[in-house]
Structure 1
């Protein structure tokens, strides 16, 4: 089956149920996953990427089990984490960008040639030998995106992709993401980050609260967040 399919998925972490009875079929080109901090959004992203397995239920990406078929997932799913420092592994740009291609079976020489061509096309040929730690936050986030795009996955999973970026950098990254041909699933607590999506899913306490067109779901979410804010909703201690 095309797309990402979850059927009756539960996820338990540390003795706590984080996702409860989720069933979704994601096929749209631009999908938003919206929810407050702690709603289970990042866990859902990790589940779809195959970084964790469900406690029960099934997850399939293009018919494959992402947690069991990790090698095959390299061409199916690419993930961009909120913090690029959690993703960057190598000391120079060319090493970082060529790593994924080598994991997919390319020789080092072929991978580096493809990286140089990509950097040139992006107007960043001078980045080739740059130390990754010398790049700015926005540049490191772009580096991680480019590393993912070089592997040409069918779907991109973005975890709060604009967090910590200034407005011009957000605009540049948003423009680049809008141009990619892949399916893009954007996970955020910020309604503005998913406003351009065809479909938005509101996740609350590990369950689907709403699922539909961006306008209606965002309006419902925003109204509820305003209600909670007016009610001092953070006064209760966690159990």
Structure 2
């Protein structure tokens, strides 16, 4: 479980998170909100990529401020643009990168990589340059590279933003079969209908927290009220 206590953060004096308090324990949780609502900043705090200015975050009791490395072994992270996390010259090497430092034989590592290639639709592409893959294939590679490390929790920050509809469905089907806890930041409201919990972020704060249907309705009301105000200005 991820616990956030009075989490606040700013960049050069601009407040992006304000006193966020949450206990995240459901299997599939989505965060929605407009651009600038604080979703991506919050996502980066959940596995220690970013330490908040104030407040604390813990993962199963491990504080991200005190032991970020241990937290990141438990919490995998996917960026919206897979190019930001693909760094090796071949598909197989990129997947295998997460196995470095683990006490496994070369044969065992090769077996794990081969299994991941097959599971995520990348068979036959082991020697290919990752940067020559399609957008959907890149996102599958990024997902495989994270999951090969066996995280307990997967944070996905807008993972479907750059995908077409076909690849959005493939990605959602893939994460839908995972045993890991999934925490998804997204603008795509139609893909979170079967999530356990949806949290609406607005101006760095939790605006609403509830079921998908209730949260989407609350978000639409929020956007609608903003539009009416702009019309009358």
TM-score range, shorter chain: over 0.9
Residue segments in structure 1 that go unaligned for 5+ positions in a row: none
- The aligned residue for residue 92 of structure 1 is 90
- The aligned residue for residue 168 of structure 1 is 166
What is the distance in 2 between the residues matched to 1:26 and 1:36?
21
- The aligned residue for residue 63 of structure 1 is 61
1:217/1:105 CA distance change after superposition, 3 Å: same
CA RMSD of aligned residues (A): 1.8
Contact 1:74 1:104 (C-alpha < 8 Å) held by counterparts? no
User: 1:231: Cα distance to partner?
Assistant: 4.3
Deviations 1:176-198 (A, max 9, x none): 01110111011012322322211
Superposed, which structure 2 residues align to 1:72-83 within 5 Å? 72-83=70-81
Deviations 1:76-118 (A, max 9, x none): 1011110011111111011100111114454555323310122
What is the distance in 2 between the residues matched to 1:218 and 1:83?
25
Contact 2:2 2:25 (C-alpha < 8 Å) held by counterparts? yes
The secondary structure found in structure 1 opposite 2:6 is strand
Normalised by the length of structure 1, the TM-score is 0.90
User: 1:44: Cα distance to partner?
Assistant: 0.3
What is the distance in 1 between the residues matched to 2:224 and 2:86?
37
Normalised by the length of structure 2, the TM-score is 0.93
- The aligned residue for residue 210 of structure 1 is 208
The secondary structure found in structure 2 opposite 1:17 is strand
